[in-house]
Amino acid sequence: MALFGTDGVRGVAGVDLTEKLAHDLAVAAAEVLTESGEFAGHRPVAIVGQDSRESGAYLEAAICKGLTESGVDVRKVGILPTPAVSFLITELKADLGVMISASHNPAQDNGIKFFSRTGRKLDDAIEGKIERLLGQPWQRPAEMEIGHEIEDTESREKYISYLLGTIESSFAGLKIVVDCANGAASFVAPEVLRLAGAEVVAISASPNGLNINQNCGSTHLENLIATVKSERADLGIAHDGDADRVLAIDHEGNVVDGDYILGILADHTHLPTKTVVGTVMTNLGLIRALEARGIGFIATPVGDRYVLEKMTAEGHTLGGEQSGHVIMSKYGNTGDGLLTALHLISHVAQSKKSLKELASFMKRYPQVLINVSGVAKEKLAHNQRIQESVKKIESQLGLTGRVLLRASGTEPLIRVMIEAENRTDAQQFAESLASLVKSELSL
């Protein structure tokens, strides 16, 4: 089984993702980049950040040990959002970035994401090389001395200044609730919004190492919805543990997900685009609404890295996922929840319209998603009965819906998604297909 998923290496900290694995991954990454000539002619530097998980400290120590043994200087930037690491790589002209985070996963999990000197996640080919070299003996070149660790206390302010520098609007007069998921956003998001002029109510902004994503953040919106209503706020925003995504709530408590956000930003005068890049999970309602405005749409596999690859290859400027990963290539090379939130709120401020009004451009097709766990996800593509069932459902839906069946790249489960014009059909088809997947592939 491949070690790297769609978003780095993840697993239960101390069980799947051990200190030894973290160390060996760092050594292998340094070897691959050294052999590729990335470090030619200068002393290599890596940016290492983490989210607020308790396990981040010992994984950071192991990664830094592996990198410094390999001749790499390490700048430890502490607890910051994943996109901050991407930004700092290019800002500080580093050669490599490492983010220790399992994003929206629970606190017992953790993960390791690598970034190249462009600030982008490593492509599949480079990750494959790292995996093949994992655990093999390697000596750093004789001319490379042991690296040094540097405690970087200034990069947080650099990131905040960068974010604020991308907007021109004042948020004065807006009351905003921000759910920080007890994660990396806790140390940045409330301050950024206040500096932009908003009245800010911060919730789930007290991380203790164990409460990240716990009934809060972008995967648990109930508390944010209730707080927006009780505070009579103009809107709410929710980040995940490493703040590379954002979902929004309008003043009435309605969810404005990544599809709505993409459509709103596609209409923003500062982000002109003729084509939006999404994924196979993107709601048909967005695709139809974009078509009505003369904007094209391209679908990629799920994962913001694939969205970015398509954007880069074809020169598109806006893309993202329903989950709230949004990439604006004018400003960055990865999904950035804080950046996205700032530009969404900026559009609210400039238009003098409520978030609900801005989101009214599209009619959302009901989607039912069922995660089927306890199954052999690697056997999905070869099961004939399941494939025949998918074809039958697709035939019945025709142009009024679709079926998406895929193995998760970050979790041990299979996702069953049905989209249809009415929720009843979507629910019935999803439950039927999920039941078949469970019976056919159960472990």
Question: Do 292 and 383 fall within a single domain?
Answer: no
In a domain, 4, yes or no: no
Question: Which of 174-188, 266-280, 393-407 has the weakest average pLDDT?
Answer: 266-280
Q: Is the pLDDT higher at 124 or at 90? A: 90
Boundary of a domain, candidates 153, 179, 209: 153
For residue range 48-96, list pLDDT tens digits in order. Answer: 999 999 999 999 999 999 999 999 999 999 999 999 999 999 999 999 9
Residue ranges making up the domain that contains 64: 9-153
Question: Do 62 and 115 fall within a single domain?
Answer: yes
Instruction: Tell me the average pLDDT across 254-268.
Output: 94
Position 361 scores a pLDDT of 94
Split into its structural domains, the chain has a count of: 3
Question: Do 348 and 437 fall within a single domain?
Answer: no
Residue 271, pLDDT above cutoff 80: no
Residues 54/55/58/62 CA torsion (nearest 10 deg): -150
In a domain, 144, yes or no: yes
Instruction: Tell me the average pLDDT across 209-237.
Output: 98
Residue 352, pLDDT above cutoff 60: yes
Q: Is the pLDDT higher at 142 or at 311? A: 311
In a domain, 161, yes or no: no
Q: Is the pLDDT higher at 317 or at 7? A: 317
Position 443 scores a pLDDT of 82
Residue 134, pLDDT above cutoff 70: yes
Question: Do 72 and 139 fall within a single domain?
Answer: yes
Output the average pLDDT for the chain. Answer: 93
**Exposed, middle or buried: residue 220 (CB in 10 Å: 0-12, 13-18, 19+)?**
middle
Boundary of a domain, candidates 361, 378, 402: 361
In a domain, 192, yes or no: yes
Question: Do 296 and 371 fall within a single domain?
Answer: no
Residue 137, pLDDT above cutoff 80: yes
Question: Do 271 and 312 fall within a single domain?
Answer: yes
Residue 436, pLDDT above cutoff 80: yes
Instruction: Tell me the average pLDDT across 237-266.
Output: 97
Question: Do 372 and 356 fall within a single domain?
Answer: no
Question: Do 254 and 112 fall within a single domain?
Answer: no
Establish whether 103 is a catalytic residue.
yes
Neighbouring residues of 71: CB distance < 8 A, sequence distance ≥ 6: 30, 34, 43, 44, 140, 141, 144, 145, 146, 147
Position 100 scores a pLDDT of 98
3-class state of residue 115 by DSSP:
strand
Q: What are the structure tokens assigned to 435, written together?
A: 């039941």
For residue range 150-186, list pLDDT tens digits in order. Answer: 999 999 999 999 999 999 999 999 999 999 999 999 9
In a domain, 1, yes or no: no
Position 295 scores a pLDDT of 93
Residue 221, pLDDT above cutoff 80: yes
Question: Do 134 and 265 fall within a single domain?
Answer: no
Phi/psi at 358 (5° precision): -65, -35
Question: Which of 113-117, 252-256, 339-343 has the weakest average pLDDT?
Answer: 113-117
Q: At 320, which CATH number?
A: 3.40.120.10
Active-site option among 55, 86, 103, 155: 103
Whether the CB-CB separation of 244 and 337 falls below 8 Å is answered with yes
Which pLDDT band holds residue 299 (cuts at 50, 70, 90)? very high
Question: Do 15 and 121 fall within a single domain?
Answer: yes
In a domain, 90, yes or no: yes
Q: Which residues pair with 75 in a beta bridge?
A: 47, 150
What's at 20, amino acid-wise?
K
Q: What are the structure tokens assigned to 336, written together?
A: 């950035």
Q: At 374, which CATH number?
A: 3.30.310.50
Instruction: Tell me the average pLDDT across 295-315.
Output: 91
Question: Which of 51-65, 128-142, 291-305 has the weakest average pLDDT?
Answer: 128-142
Boundary of a domain, candidates 310, 334, 361: 361
Question: Do 256 and 351 fall within a single domain?
Answer: yes
Which pLDDT band holds residue 40 (cuts at 50, 70, 90)? low
Q: Which residues pair with 251 in a beta bridge?
A: none
Q: Is the pLDDT higher at 302 or at 141? A: 302
Residue 400, pLDDT above cutoff 90: no
Q: Is the pLDDT higher at 79 or at 3? A: 79
In a domain, 175, yes or no: yes
Percent of the chain with pLDDT over 90: 78
Position 37 scores a pLDDT of 65
Rounded Cα distance, 153 and 161, in Å: 14
Which pLDDT band holds residue 38 (cuts at 50, 70, 90)? low
Question: Do 113 and 259 fall within a single domain?
Answer: no
In a domain, 304, yes or no: yes
